[in-house]
């Protein structure tokens, strides 16, 4: 992998640079897009739907779920095209193909980091106290990254064989969004359905982020443990499948 | 360094008649063919020594591209073994790794790294690459989407020739570009030949094969029909 470090670096920079060169607003879009989504949703859900009693102001609560969700959704969306868009490379030159997926995801991590700046400003604005527990943000994000990477490996490879898997998955993502506590908190869900949040890794991560950021406590280890096993399991299986299919990529692309 | 050995290589792949699940479901419903097993290479064995220039000839669908893909390591054989000794550089589909939004310099580095060059080496060779490409320095900081197709290709070729390959895979690049550019490509390839770089040359232009190669492998329906002297192989191919 070390041998391909500079390739990974260059491909990641290609992703980032190419996108920002296309528009004058460049870097601002990355910050503005989730911010506007948050403002619109905040208005609807706090003023109209009256989502209250969650401990912190709704906009920041929402943002803490929306940013990780958008990272997840955007990563999957671009990873799905990562192999098909690079078909001419895949047909001609060998390098480990997961680098194509990893570089798209790293570019999304860059976007995510930019968006976090606004989040921190909002934290200050809403006078949320900064605590030591917030450091747990990083390991939780690492887990989320592994989960996202695993799923991306699997889906990008399958999408190479049947090109409409990405459209199919768009539908799944819409459903997935609503069974993940992004716009609401888990307590709003009827108790008999709450098991969904235990087995949905995205829900595990978002709950954990909110715990360490707003409650000033450790994350729920039991729930995070389930998230850990699902993420690692998925990653290991996905990597195996991806490597198994890799030798066929050039034949089908 | 620079040897290639194929022993009893077979390659099957599945030809997908449907590229989407939607079509697949419809095809299953109508009981149409979905997957077709194609026997692309049949028991292919040969040994290529360092410094040889081998032309691969054969009709469309004879397995030339598949053979090249196996050599490049992007596709794996179904059975048999392939031994490649040395660094392979594909001089094929120039500019495959270029990104239109990035400028010339950024693309030189990007493509260079994709082709397996080290960044440090590229920094050292940067000026030489630009000089070889004959692209005016003032355009080097322009996104390559504004390049003419000639400039685009010259830049891509310039990067590719600066890899220091033991084995060079050439696929029909000479079919594109103006005559001056083609002459430059041939000249560079002759230079590689002098440096005893093994060259695998896939072309429909039998003239170029005659001029450049000292051995041909003639593929027919996935089998090696002939392997040896250039004129003999080409005559056999023409007659068929």
Domains of chain B: 3-8+47-239 (3.40.50.300)
User: How far B1 CA sits from the closest chain A CA (Å)?
Assistant: 18
Q: pLDDT tens across B83-104, in order?
A: 999 988 887 666 677 888 889 9
* Contact call for B69 and A250, based on CB within 8 A: yes
Q: What is the pLDDT of residues A66-89, one digit of tens each?
A: 999 999 999 999 999 999 989 888
User: Can you give the pLDDT at residue B178?
Assistant: 72
Over residues B168-175, the mean pLDDT reads 74
Residues with Cβ < 8 Å from A62, sequence gap 6 or more? A38, A41, A42, A45, A182, A183
Q: Please name which of A92, A3, A99, A14 lies closest in space to residue B105, comparing C-alpha atoms.
A: A14
Least confident of A137-151, B73-87, B173-187, B213-227: B173-187
Q: Which residues pair with A252 in a beta bridge?
A: none
Q: Using one digit for the tens of pLDDT, what is the confidence trace for B29-46?
A: 888 888 888 899 999 999
| pLDDT value at residue A24 | 64
Check CB contact under 8 Å for B75 and A165: no
| Residues of A whose CB is below 8 A from B109 | 10
Cα–Cα distance between B70 and A217 in angstroms, integer? 55
In degrees to the nearest 10, what's the CA dihedral of A252, A253, B6, B8? 0
- Closest approach of B69 to chain A, Cα-based (Å): 7
- Note the pLDDT of residue A1: 59
Question: In angstroms, rounded to a whole number, what is the distance separating the alpha carbons of residues A9 and B174?
Answer: 32
Residue in chain A closest to B15 (alpha carbons) equals A252
Mean pLDDT (whole number) for B96-120: 89
Find the closest chain A residue to B144 by CA distance.
A18
- State pLDDT tens for residues A173-184: 999 999 999 998
Say if the Cβ atoms of B90 and A93 lie within 8 Å: yes
CB-nearest partner of A93 from B13, B106, B114: B114
Tell me which residues of chain B have a C-beta less than 8 Å from any C-beta of chain A: 13-14, 16, 18-22, 24, 69, 72-76, 88, 90, 92-93, 96-97, 99, 101-102, 106, 109-110, 113-116, 118-119, 143
By the 8 A CB rule, do A207 and A132 touch?
no
User: What's the whole-number mean pLDDT along residues B13-29?
Assistant: 87
- Give residue B87's pLDDT: 87
Check if the beta carbon of residue B166 is closer than 8 Å to that of residue B198.
Answer: yes
Distance from CA of A86 to the nearest CA of B (A): 8
Structure tokens belonging to residue B177: 């570009």
- Burial of A193: CB neighbours in 10 Å, binned 0-12, 13-18, 19+: exposed
B21 and A168 within 8 Å at the Cβ level: the answer is yes
Would you say residue B109 has pLDDT above 70? Answer: yes
Percent of chain B scoring above 70 in pLDDT: 96
Distance from CA of A56 to the nearest CA of B (A): 43
Q: What is the pLDDT of residue B175?
A: 57
What is the predicted pLDDT for the residue at B177?
A: 63
Looking at residue A51, its pLDDT comes to: 72
pLDDT under 50 in chain A at which residues?
Answer: none
- Give the pLDDT confidence score for residue A27 in this predicted structure: 75
Cβ contacts of B74 on chain A, cutoff 8 Å: 90-94, 249-250
Instruction: Supply the pLDDT for residue B183.
Output: 81
In degrees and rounded to multiples of 5, residue A133 shows phi and psi of -60, -25
The residue-averaged pLDDT of B150-176 equals: 82
List Cα–Cα distances, A219 to A111, A222, A227, B41, in angstroms.
Answer: 25, 9, 12, 56
């Amino acid at each position: 992998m070390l041998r391909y470090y500079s390739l990974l670096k260059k491909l990641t920079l290609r992703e980032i640079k190419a996108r920002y060169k296309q528009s004058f607003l460049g870097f601002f879009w990355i910050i503005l897009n989730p911010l506007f989504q948050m403002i619109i949703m905040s208005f609807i859900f706090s003023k109209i739907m009256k989502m209250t009693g969650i401990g912190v102001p709704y906009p920041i609560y929402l943002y803490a779920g929306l940013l990780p969700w958008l990272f997840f959704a955007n990563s999957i969306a671009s990873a799905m095209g990562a192999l098909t868009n690079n078909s001419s490379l895949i047909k001609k030159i060998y390098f480990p193909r997961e680098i194509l997926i990893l570089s798209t995801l790293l570019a999304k991590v860059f976007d995510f980091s930019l968006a976090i700046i606004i989040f921190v400003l909002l934290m200050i604005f809403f006078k949320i106290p900064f605590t030591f527990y917030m450091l747990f943000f990083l390991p939780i994000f690492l887990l989320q990254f592994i989960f996202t990477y695993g799923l991306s490996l699997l889906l990008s490879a399958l999408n190479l064989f049947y090109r409409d898997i990405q459209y199919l998955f768009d539908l799944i993502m819409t459903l997935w969004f609503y069974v993940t506590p992004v716009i609401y908190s888990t307590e709003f869900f009827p108790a008999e359905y709450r098991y969904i949040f235990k087995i949905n890794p995205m829900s595990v991560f978002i709950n954990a982020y909110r715990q360490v950021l707003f409650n000033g406590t450790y994350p729920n280890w039991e729930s995070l443990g389930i998230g850990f096993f699902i993420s690692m399991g998925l990653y290991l299986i996905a990597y195996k499948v991806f490597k198994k299919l890799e030798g066929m990529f050039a034949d089908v692309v | 360094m620079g040897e290639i050995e194929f022993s009893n290589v077979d390659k099957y792949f599945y030809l997908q008649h449907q590229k989407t699940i939607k079509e697949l479901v419809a095809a299953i419903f109508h009981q149409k063919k979905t997957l077709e097993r194609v026997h692309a290479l049949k028991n292919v064995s040969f040994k290529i020594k360092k410094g040889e220039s081998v032309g691969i000839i054969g009709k469309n669908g004879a397995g030339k591209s598949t053979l090249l893909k196996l050599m490049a390591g992007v596709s794996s054989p179904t059975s048999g073994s392939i031994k490649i000794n040395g660094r392979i550089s594909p001089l094929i589909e120039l500019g495959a790794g270029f990104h239109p939004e990035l400028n010339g310099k950024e693309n030189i580095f990007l493509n260079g790294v994709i082709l397996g060059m080290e960044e440090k080496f590229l920094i050292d060779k940067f000026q030489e690459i630009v000089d070889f490409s004959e692209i005016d320095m003032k355009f080097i900081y322009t996104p390559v989407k504004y390049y003419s197709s000639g400039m685009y290709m010259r830049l891509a070729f310039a990067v590719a020739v600066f890899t220091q390959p033991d084995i060079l895979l050439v696929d029909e690049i000479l079919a594109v570009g103006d005559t001056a550019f083609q002459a430059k490509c041939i000249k560079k390839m002759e230079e590689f030949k002098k440096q005893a770089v093994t060259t695998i040359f896939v072309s429909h232009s039998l003239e170029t094969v005659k001029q450049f190669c000292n051995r041909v492998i003639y593929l027919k329906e996935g089998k090696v029909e002939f392997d040896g002297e250039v004129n003999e192989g080409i005559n056999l191919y023409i007659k068929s």
